[in-house]
Amino acid sequence: MADVNRGNRPLSPHLSIYRPQMTSGSSIMVRISGLGVLGVALFVVWWLLAAASSESAFALIDGLVRSWLGGLVLTAATWGLWYHTLGRLRHVVWDLGYCFDVKTSERMGLGMFVGATVLTIITVLVV
C-alpha cells in the first residue's frame, strides 16, 4: 500500500462548485413527501383503531384531527400526497423516454410545486 499523507489532502471540491438544481430539489422533495404521507397514514390508522376500540379513545384522536393543528397537518398531508403523486407521474414520463432535456425537466419540477398547491386548494374547497 502506498504511503499517503492523508492529513494534507484537499477536500473534494463538489461542495464548493455544486449548484442545487430544480430537478434535484424536486426529487428530494418527492422522497420527503413520501415519508410524510407514510407518517400521516399511520395517523389515520391510529384514528381508525381508536374508532374500533372505545368511545373515549376515539374522542381523543378525533378532537385532535378536528382541531386547527389537525386541519393544518391534514392540509399539509394533502399537499404532500399530491406532490408525491405528481412526482411519480413525472418518473413514468421519464421511464417512457420523454422530457429529459434540462429546460423541460425544470418546468416539470416547478409544475409539480404549482400543481400540488392548486390540487390541494381544490381538494380543501371540495371536501
C-alpha cell at 1: 500500500
pLDDT reported for residue 4: 63
pLDDT-based confidence at residue 108 (cuts at 50, 70, 90):
very high
C-alpha cell at 39: 407518517
pLDDT-based confidence at residue 20 (cuts at 50, 70, 90):
confident
Q: What is the pTM of this model?
A: 0.80
pLDDT-based confidence at residue 31 (cuts at 50, 70, 90):
very high
Classify domain 21-126 by CATH number. 1.20.1300.10
Whether the CB-CB separation of 36 and 77 falls below 8 Å is answered with yes
Query: Residues 110-114: what's their mean pLDDT?
Result: 95
pLDDT reported for residue 39: 92
**Angle made by CA atoms 22, 26, 30, in degrees to the nearest 5:** 175
Number of Cβ within 10 Å of residue 87's Cβ equals 20
